[in-house]
Structure 1
Amino acid sequence: MAPKLPTGWVHSPPTFLLPDAFLPLITKRGVKYGWTTAPARGKPARFNQKTAGLPTLSQSPAAALARKDYTLPLRTGALAIKKGMTALYDPETGIRTPCTVLQLDRVQVVAHKTREKHGYFAVQIGSGWKHSSNVTRPLLGHFTGAGVSPKRYLAEFRVKDESGLPQVGQSIGPEWFLEGQFVDARANSRGMGFAGGMKRWGFKGQPASHGNSKTHRAMGSSGASQGSGSRVHPGKKMPGRMGGEQVTVQNAKVLKVDKEKGLVILNGSIAGPKGCVVKIQDAIMKPWPVVPGAVEGVKEKLEATA
């Protein structure tokens, strides 16, 4: 029986029988050499593609601040205490508007965060009052250096640049906000403790009869077996701690400002129970308010977004 020839000889003759001009075509024709039947074209890179007129991204801190140029407020915000909810009536139309009452208590500028020292611009705001004997010595020295009384609450507010840094020790009252402007309010929601799946996630629940016994409000199955790896996937909606999370209410309209009583009344409801701390700052999705004596460039920003 004749020996079996190699399979490669069936498709092409041996290389020693071919001219030298055809050798490069044979040796580079294959998948391992990247050979393809598609027309030659440039393959785009994964990053920094110049498509749709978008700017090229960079990783420097200066570029990161430039990307936030239009999303950082021009001035600082304030800390307020939620006093409760009420309603305002329009005497002409008789429309009832539910609102939230916030009170500013001895709000002052405590410190600055600058780009050269901290990498970003921010204002540290303090509110309330604490007895000096109830404050640690490092924190008491921090307040003494700023020339302000010990504060019960401290918070930072990011600003666009150094023009939004007010003087240390400056008081911020309700007149800092104007009637009719929009603000963003942040507060921790009311904690509800351990809650089941129906209350926490709005599950429908199981049937009330037909063999169901004492599992009417149970969540049911938590996942498949073999198809999902015989495990419960991360992020599965299950019973657990509910509430106690920071909630941001955007574009809340300032209905009324009372400088004498230190009140700022916002339209609608704000997250959190009575007595919680609320951070209010100019809304980033609305034009910046034109405040007398505010930072430069506010009017240009308002005209550009109108």
Structure 2
Amino acid sequence: MTQENENLNKENQQEKPAEVSADFKFLIAEKIGMTQVYTEDGELKGVTVLKAGPCRVAYVRTKDNDGYNAVCLGFGHRKEKNLSSAMKGVFAKNNLKPLKHLKEVRVEKTEGFAAGQTVSLAGRFNDGDWIDVQGITIGKGFAGGMKRHNFRGQPASHGASDRERAPGGLASRRSLGRVLPGQRMAGHLGVERVTVHKMKIIKVLPEKNLVLVNGGIPGKEGSIVYMLKTVKKVPKPVVAQPKSKTKKEAAKAPAKKK
């Protein structure tokens, strides 16, 4: 038996990496695109398809060593030649393939987390769950005040031919003599991190690592987004109750025999 075959047998005999508890509600996902699906009630929904996980735990931060508790997740793989020397050492120390997208997540306690563990979709998110999705918006280049900040523009009458899309005064005043920081003006639009709260999961396909989320999600196809349990108040499920008889229906009902 050659050395290569022995190495393959050893790899096959190794146990699968442990799974992080399903109570940890966070995943790195890739936006695939949008489509339409029918719900069980026959309602047509526009959904975003996400490829969620599986992720790997790259390393764990502890309060004693680093000053805070956090878990770093990795999604996807990259070539080792594109890594810095520091990251090569991190992955070599934990016997991991180089991970492409890394994200540190703050946690209260680090017990139960270890480098090399997997964070999969199965059992972590289910149909009907409410989540928050964080992504980077599509860049739209340099935009004016009306497109960027929804300004209404100036009157398009009385001979003002070049003021129709102008932002107006900058509120600098004579005594101030300068524009205050943060004044909304024309500039670069997009490429901002945006969090969309309280999005409903329509369908989870754990065997394909796919999640169908109701509505649109920031970012273009192929961009990386973060899925986590919503921090907002979840609406209570509506339970259909039997209709009570109206006064007219009660009057028409036959009288009970004595």
| Fold match (TM-score > 0.5) | yes
Instruction: Select the structure that is richer in helix.
Output: 1
Quote the residue 2:94 is aligned against.
146
Aligned length: 212
Whole-Å Cα distance in 1 between the matches of residues 82 and 59 of structure 2? Answer: 21
TM-score by length of 1: 0.64
Q: Which runs of 4+ in 1 moved over 3 A?
A: none
Is 1:255 aligned to residue 202 of structure 2?
A: yes
* Cα deviation 1:172-219 (Å, max 9, x = unaligned): 222132222222211111111111000011111122232213332111
Superposition pairs of residues 153-302 of structure 1, within 5 angstroms: 153-163=101-111, 165-175=112-122, 176-226=124-174, 229-285=176-232
Equivalent residue, structure 2, for 1:121: 69
Equivalence for 1:7? none
Output the amino acid matched with 1:239. Answer: A
Q: Deviations over 1:134-178 (max 9, x none)?
A: 222221121121222111110011122224x43321222221322
Q: Which amino acid in the other structure matches residue 194 of structure 1?
A: F
Task: Specify the code of the residue in structure 2 equivalent to 1:83.
Answer: I
Q: Separation in 2 of the partners of 1:285 and 1:210?
A: 49
Q: Which residue of 1 aligns with 2:5?
A: none
- The residue type paired with residue 84 of structure 1 is G
1:130 aligns with 2:113: no
Q: Flag the structure with larger Rg.
A: 1
Q: Which stretches in structure 2 are left out of the alignment for 5+ residues?
A: 1-22, 235-258
With structure 2 as the length reference, what TM-score do the two structures score? 0.75
Name the counterpart of 1:80: 29
Larger strand percent: 2
SS at match of 1:198: helix
Counterpart position of 1:90: 39
Q: Report the CA distance shift for 1:177/1:90 in structure 2 as closer, same or farther (over 3 A).
A: closer
Shift of residue 224, structure 1, vs aligned partner: 4.7
- Displacement of 1:275: 1.0
- Alignment-mate amino acid for residue 38 of structure 2: Y
Q: Is the CA contact (8 Å cut-off) linking 2:60 and 2:110 kept in structure 1?
A: no
Q: What's the Cα RMSD here? A: 2.1
Larger relative contact order (C-alpha < 8 A, sep ≥ 6)?
2
1:72-107 superposed Cα distances (whole Å, 9 cap, x missing partner): xx625111101111222125x321222211103542
Confirm or deny: 8 A CA contact 1:186 1:246 kept in the other structure: yes
- Percent identity over the alignment is 37
**Cross-structure match for 2:56:** 108
